[in-house]
Structure 1
Amino acid sequence: MRKKLSAALSAAEQIRDQFFPEASACLLAGSVVRGDATAYSDLDLVVVYERVENAQRQSFVFGDWPVEAFIHDPQTLEFFFREVDRPSGVPSLPNMVSEGIEIPRETKCGRLVKDLASRILEEGPIEWGQKERENSRYAISDMVEDIREPRNIAELRIVISNLYSAIANHFLRSQNQWSAKGKSIPRRLMSVNPEVHKRFAEAFEAAFTRDDTTDVIQLCEHVLEPDGGFLFQGYTRDAPKEWRMPDA
């Protein structure tokens, strides 16, 4: 049974009043706002003060609700947007702010951070360079070799699980699209390219239910082809020069 938005809004307003009464803005985000919450979904809150000593994440239970509160001020939010989420390619915090419902009402601070989140989402992630593309190609190529002739089913399924995230990330980032992680990946693929989402779903369904990796391997070939396909021969990766113990 899905948790109703009205109940979530009521709980979020109580939490704001009880725990964050001095906040300049408080936004409810996550699955309850998107409309895909389950009976076990939590409340995601972005709480914005005029200034905090440092950004913070708090986890607690309020009534029947697990709560994840992300405490920020406008400057720490912008830092996370630009220095954490854009380089990672996964816009977790900008999405929360952009989609969030401000409680109990809109504020100037709320409009400010929402406008900032929208600008960041429009800018997109930091564009991949050749090094990032080659690192991703090599990692995927290595995993594909592991599933061509796996030693056992347990290893096969672990590698397939890792490959799902890796190939989805390559597909999205190589097109300068925002990526996703975990359970958000199918939703992101669907929003970017429904046909590719369908191909992912069918390929990995066959791999997980029948241990048939044929379509997964073909999918990897298809996704990597624009960047040069599978990569092993000639691949190099330099460790930072400072990664050494000092001379005795």
Structure 2
Amino acid sequence: MTTPADGPNHPVGQARRLAAERFPDALSVVLAGSTVAGRATATSDLDLAVLVEDGGATRRETLRFEGRLVELFIHTRAGLDELFAADTASRRGVMQRMYAEGLVLTERDGAGTGLKHRAAAALREGPGALAPATVEDRRYALTDALDDLSDAADPVERLTVAGVVLDVAADLLFDHHRAWKGGGKWLPRRLLQADPDRGAALLDGYRRLCETAAPQPLTAAATDILTLTGGPLREGHARTWPVSHDPSPVPGACTRDDPDAGPA
């Protein structure tokens, strides 16, 4: 027997009570995340996007309400414009997806519904393409990581390099399809949405390497993506950065701790 959505122990009911108690004057409160997607568990947190009047603060806050962890994304209209722009630049579309896929709990003058339509349109449009130079950097990084993977004898090094192969190959595939990317648990979900066949092959190759230490399936899947996006890149790849008097590393420069790093 399932708990009614507005019951005392249902996360949607908890979210409605939190919105009423904590944000009675909000322009809108939208519930997003696993609860709306139907994947919530007893320990899942609540993700709430809260639109407040101009003059308020744009911030993120974590609290606990009725025993459940809550992530609050609080913003003004101007603040949300900045968040949308940042999420578009990062090609993740986090706030856009929260609004587009979320459940409007409260709103004034249709504010939440209007933002849902705006966010859904932005998701359909997709992120912009990576700059050609950035694609070259990704191709070089993946070529280098695949070379390292073939040479890796230490099991810990092999797993570490495999993670780089997964991340960079996924990034190239996301860009090829102009698809929104994801991190953590969202990487495989977004990857399968962007390209069910190549995404599944890449994820399966990574899983098999973790389970059996065999690199061949991951190498084959990543090489397929590399070929799709321009092919391996070694000789001829070059980048310059402006000279800085600051002794700290130049932003964007390749280091061995960077997934885009070149050969040591």
What is the TM-score when the length of structure 2 is the normalising length? 0.84
Distance across 1 between alignment mates of 2:245 and 2:128: 29
Distance across 2 between alignment mates of 1:52 and 1:220: 48
Q: Does 2:81 align with 1:78?
A: yes
Q: Which has the higher helix share?
A: 1
Equivalence for 2:254:
none
Q: After TM superposition, where is structure 1 displaced by more than 3 Å over at least 4 residues in a row? A: 2-6, 104-107
Equivalence for 1:118:
120
Equivalence for 1:244:
245
Unaligned runs of 5+ in 2: 248-264
Equivalence for 2:176:
174
The alpha-carbon deviation at position 105 of structure 1 amounts to: 6.1
Match of 1:58 among 61, 71, 83: 61
Write the letter of the residue equivalent to 1:244: H
Match of 1:209 among 208, 211, 220: 211
1:1-248 residue pairs with structure 2 within 5 A? 6=6, 7-82=10-85, 84-104=86-106, 107-241=109-243, 243-245=244-246
- 1:182 is paired with a residue whose SS is coil
Change in Cα spacing, 1:142 to 1:132, as seen in structure 2 (3 Å) is same
Distance across 2 between alignment mates of 1:240 and 1:95: 37
- 1:212 is paired with a residue whose SS is coil
Distance across 2 between alignment mates of 1:214 and 1:199: 12
Give percent identity, aligned residues only. Answer: 27
Distance across 1 between alignment mates of 2:54 and 2:188: 36
Unaligned runs of 5+ in 1: none
The alpha-carbon deviation at position 220 of structure 1 amounts to: 1.5
Distance across 2 between alignment mates of 1:4 and 1:133: 49
Distance across 1 between alignment mates of 2:132 and 2:199: 25
Change in Cα spacing, 1:106 to 1:202, as seen in structure 2 (3 Å) is farther
Distance across 2 between alignment mates of 1:244 and 1:185: 38
The alpha-carbon deviation at position 106 of structure 1 amounts to: 7.5
Distance across 2 between alignment mates of 1:221 and 1:107: 52
Please, what is the CA RMSD of the aligned residues?
2.2
Change in Cα spacing, 1:174 to 1:193, as seen in structure 2 (3 Å) is closer
Write the letter of the residue equivalent to 2:27: S
The alpha-carbon deviation at position 207 of structure 1 amounts to: 0.7
Change in Cα spacing, 1:239 to 1:117, as seen in structure 2 (3 Å) is same
